Amino acid sequence: MQPHEAPRSGGIEPQPTMERRGFLKAVGSAVGLAALLGPATLRGVEAAMSNAVGLTPQQAAREESLWSSVQQAFTMSRGLINLDNGFTCPTPRVVSEAVARYIGDQEEVPYGLWLRDARSRMGTVRTGLARLFGCDPDEIAITRNATEALRTILYGFALKPEDEVLTTTQDYDSMLATLEHRQQRDGITLTKVDVPTPPKSMDDLVGMFERGITPKTRLILLSHITYTTGQVFPVKRICDLAHQRGIDVLVDGAHSFGHLDFKLADLNCDYFGTSLHKWLLAPKGTGMLYIRKDKIEKIPPIMSPPPRRGNDRMRKYESVGIQSSAQNLGIGEALAFHNAIGAKRKEERLRYLTHAWAERLQAVPTIRLYTPLTPEMSCGIASVGIAGVDPTALHNYLWEKHRIQTSRGYYEEGRTLLWLRISPNLYTTLPELEYFCEAMEDVAKNGLPEPYRSYKPDLNRFNG
């Protein structure tokens, strides 16, 4: 068996689709229309998606001819199979080339001149992000990742000794470590709901939070999609439940933004943090923080901003000193790419790719799926295990013998290894997923070869 080789080529050059025209009209000309309209790869994606007119998103997800141009828009090596897009995603060529161009531009003039122009363009990028998320541009800040965005809230939210924060055992370990630090420093109470894998229903997930709330609960930290198994949570129902009791909710959207088709109104949360370099396919080192307008003044930034920033403005969270603006400007191209495909079509394609491997492996008696496949409970991330096979040994075997990159999953409590996390992306092909399934089925039937059978896992090495 060998990984599938996918050809790469340029694309047809049509006029912008109506969906993308609407985006460009919304963000204005400051992004640079020539930059957005020029690359052949982006025009090829637009051409492919124009052929989806008349198809439902679910139908479009199954039309392989529509996705070949999207697959060719990436420079990801076909000498390996990357099924760990939950860690961070490769950018499409239109984004990486834009960042390189911006880096070159900023070195041609004094940086102060470049920075003034870049700040003007960033206002346009914020408008595009706000339009996608469904909020006011003055309610978002550009951060370096979800960790920075979420920690801003977790450290800045006012909590007295014995005030309680409610979260789950499957929330991101860096966020749990931040809350444990506040527990040690400030004497707060940290309560974790133990989420089964998989849960029975969305009702069960709501019930777990309802039972976990106490009179001392002041804040809930909730993942929209867990990084462990890809479980989607009923965020709005939990937010509504919390708000009825005067509790604020912070949503970890690291794996949902640019992955699921949703707006802020579908969540009704108070705070939201995400990494744009994950499913939006933006440059590495870009993230977004949302704070509801009436709460901005209450949350101090991690770093003290200059007085001119104003305590009621989101720009105070962006004051981290001099850094390159090239990555942040590249968010504009990522938005254009995302909108050219269409949020719902993208979601359904990711879900279709997951079902392509998960339904096949689920039929093998010794293989267990830890993620429910009902559409409302999962999308492009799912976790799987083989009875009697150590997940770290399996992870290493797949990479070293088959050049298939995966990630390992575990429960935060005790860090017990349980599964492999599998997360394909838009550039993933069906033959690549078939090859992965063949490798897994072989291990399920014959076991791992030596020395993998006697492998001792290192519990301190995991991807995010």
To the nearest 10°, report the CA torsion of 446, 447, 448, 452: -150
With vertex at residue 406, the alpha carbon angle to CA 402 and CA 407, rounded to the nearest 5 degrees, is 150
Quote the pLDDT of residue 403.
Answer: 98
Residue with tokens 């894998």: 197
Helices (H), ranges, 187-311: 202-212, 235-243
pLDDT the model gives residue 457: 58
Dihedral Cα 366, 370, 375, 381, nearest 10 deg? -110
Query: What is the Cα–Cα distance from 279 to 273, expressed in whole angstroms?
Result: 13
Instruction: Give the number of other CB atoms < 10 A from CB of residue 307.
Output: 7
Please report the pLDDT score of residue 82 as a whole number.
98
- CB-based contact 232:225 (threshold 8 Å): yes
Distances, alpha carbon 308 to alpha carbons 3, 54, 294, 329, in Å? 55, 51, 20, 23
pLDDT digits (tens, 9 = 90+) for 428-449: 999 999 999 999 999 999 999 9
3-state secondary structure of 109: coil
| Degrees, nearest 5: CA angle 211-213-215 | 130
**How much helix, strand and coil, in percent to the nearest 5, is found in the chain?**
45, 15, 40
DSSP 8-class letter at 271: E
pLDDT score for 375 = 96
> What are the DSSP calls for 130-187, one per residue?
HHHHTS-GGGEEEESSHHHHHHHHHHHS---TT-EEEEETTS-HHHHHHHHHHHHHH-
Q: In what order do the strands lie in the sheet with 367-369?
A: 367-369, 382-386, 417-422, 407-410
How deeply is 292 buried, as exposed, middle or buried, from its count of CB atoms within 10 A (0-12, 13-18, 19+)? middle
**pLDDT for position 364:** 98
At which residue do the structure tokens 């200059």 appear? 306
Which CA distances in Å does 344 have to 120, 229, 278, 444? 30, 22, 17, 35
Q: Which residue has the tokens 């951060």?
A: 143
Q: Can you give the pLDDT at residue 27?
A: 39
Distances (CA, A) of 356 to 94, 141, 163, 224, 379: 28, 37, 45, 23, 12
Q: What angle do CA 406, 409, 411 make, to 5 degrees?
A: 175
Pairing between β-strand 367-369 and β-strand 382-386 as defined by DSSP bridges? antiparallel
Q: Residue 39 is encoded by which pair of tokens?
A: 């690359």
Q: Tell me the C-alpha distance between 320 and 225, whole Å.
A: 28
Tally of residues, the chain: 464
Residue 410, pLDDT score: 65
Find the distance separating the first CA and the last CA of the chain, reported in whole Å: 29
Quick: pLDDT tens for 42-51. 777 888 888 8
Q: How far is CA 109 from CA 35, 104, 393, 448, in A?
A: 19, 10, 51, 57
Task: Give the three-state DSSP class for 458.
Answer: coil
The pLDDT of residue 197: 87
Interval 192-243: pLDDT, tens? 999 988 999 999 999 999 999 999 999 999 999 999 999 999 999 999 999 9
Per-residue pLDDT of the chain (464 residues; tens, 9 = 90+): 444 333 333 332 333 333 434 433 333 333 333 344 445 767 778 888 888 889 999 999 999 999 998 999 999 999 999 999 999 999 999 999 999 999 999 999 998 888 888 888 899 999 999 999 999 999 999 999 999 999 999 999 999 998 999 999 999 999 999 999 999 999 999 999 999 889 999 999 999 999 999 999 999 999 999 999 999 999 999 999 999 999 999 999 999 999 999 999 999 999 999 999 999 999 999 999 999 999 999 999 988 766 665 666 899 999 887 888 999 999 999 999 999 999 999 999 999 999 999 999 999 999 999 999 999 999 999 999 999 998 989 999 999 999 999 998 765 445 565 789 999 999 999 999 999 999 999 999 999 998 888 766 554 544 44
3-state secondary structure 176-197: HHHHHHHHHHHCCEEEEECCCC
pTM for this entry: 0.88
Query: Which pLDDT score is estimated for 42?
Result: 75
Burial 40-67 (b: 16+ CB within 10 A, else e): bbbbbbbbbbbebeeeebeebbeeeebb
Residue 36: what pLDDT?
40
Distance CA 293, CA 312 (A): 8
Q: For position 300, what pLDDT does the model report?
A: 93
Residues in a beta bridge with 232: 225
Domains defined along the chain, listed by start: 119-334 (3.40.640.10), 345-445 (3.90.1150.10)
Rounded CA-CA distance 419/400 in Å is 18
